[in-house]
Amino acid sequence: MGSMGGFNGFGFAPELDLQVELQITLQEAVLGAKRRVQLSHDSFEIKIPAGVRDGEVLRAKGRGRRQGGMVGDVLLKVRVLEDALYTQKGDDLYKNFDLPLKTALFGGRVQVDTLYKEVALKIPPNTKNAQKFRLKELGVKNRKTGSVGDLYLMANVILPHTDTLSAPFKQTLQEQLP
């Protein structure tokens, strides 16, 4: 039945697609980026869309192997590298920030860097260690829904070294602290 000639998509076509792993930083994954991909036979620029996830595959059309008049694609499997500051859970990002004890106790503002911009975070009095602050839409874009997740900042309260405190103040603290 049928002729054996030509390519009919049932395994006669040579495998022209190339599979390549593409390692990107969390920042590139969240904000999007342009990256130059260097292959043995080719070099080209690829646009990394904002919100790309670990394990997702980006396709570079017409950049694969050539044979006869046919050309394959390059399939780039995305690997998002671990980040020293941020942890990603779904569409949300988590990050610790240092908070001086004085600000934790009495409140105030602290400047915190996010992937998008620097923010002035309002700290209420009596903030506890590891207390979470939610910054809306400073997380990761969801490419299916178009919505952006949140950034959660966790307070890391920095205690002053007692050597930096005056003797009378240390005595008062020892008497007053529960």
pLDDT digits (tens, 9 = 90+) for 5-16: 444 455 555 689
Q: Which residues, in sequence order, are CB contacts of 95 under 8 Å at separation 6+?
A: 85, 86, 87, 114, 151, 152, 153, 154
Give the per-residue pLDDT at 4: 47
Average pLDDT of the segment spanning 114-136: 97
At 13 the pLDDT is 56
Q: Which residues pair with 58 in a beta bridge?
A: 76
Distance CA(61)–CA(3), nearest Å, equals 30
Given this model, what pLDDT does residue 5 score?
47
Using the predicted structure, report yes or no on whether residue 162 has a pLDDT greater than 90. no
pLDDT, mean of residues 65-72: 89
Q: Which of 7-21, 45-59, 64-78 shows the lowest per-residue confidence on average (mean pLDDT)? A: 7-21
Cα–Cα dist 69/71, whole Å: 7
Q: Name which residue leads in pLDDT, 8 or 73.
A: 73
131: Cα separation from own chain's centroid: 22
Reported as a single tens digit per residue, the pLDDT across 108-120 is 999 999 999 999 9
> Judging by DSSP bridges, how do beta strands 74-80 and 18-24 pair with one another?
parallel
Checking if the pLDDT of 124 tops 50, the result is yes
